[in-house]
């Protein structure tokens, strides 16, 4: 439950600055032990989407490009 709340807060804080390019979402789906499903719909002008994350307590971030 704590991981879900943390991920949701992270996504909503990042998306606030991109509101004009986001059509709908982000929506946090099921969170498992090592994965989470994230859904977002962006405007047609957006060519790529990336998600940046890190483990709790870690300073090193990882980026996934879609």
* Residues 41 and 23: beta-carbon distance below 8 Å: yes
pLDDT of residue 19: 58
pLDDT of residue 42: 86
Query: Is the C-alpha dihedral spanning 60, 65, 10, 30 positive or negative?
Result: negative
pLDDT of residue 54: 81
Burial class (CB in 10 A: 0-12, 13-18, 19+), 24: exposed
pLDDT at residue 4 tops 80: no
Task: Record the pTM.
Answer: 0.54
Tens digit of each residue's pLDDT (9 = 90 or more) over 11-55: 665 555 555 687 887 888 888 887 888 888 888 888 888 888 787
pLDDT of residue 59: 87
Angle at 50 between CA 44 and CA 52, to 5 degrees: 150
């Amino acid at each position: 439950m704590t991981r879900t709340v943390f991920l949701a807060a992270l996504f909503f804080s990042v998306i606030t600055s991109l509101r004009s390019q986001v059509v709908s979402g982000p929506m946090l789906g099921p969170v498992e032990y090592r994965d989470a499903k994230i859904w977002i719909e962006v405007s047609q002008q957006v060519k790529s989407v990336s998600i940046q994350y890190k483990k709790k307590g870690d300073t090193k971030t990882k980026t996934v490009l879609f």
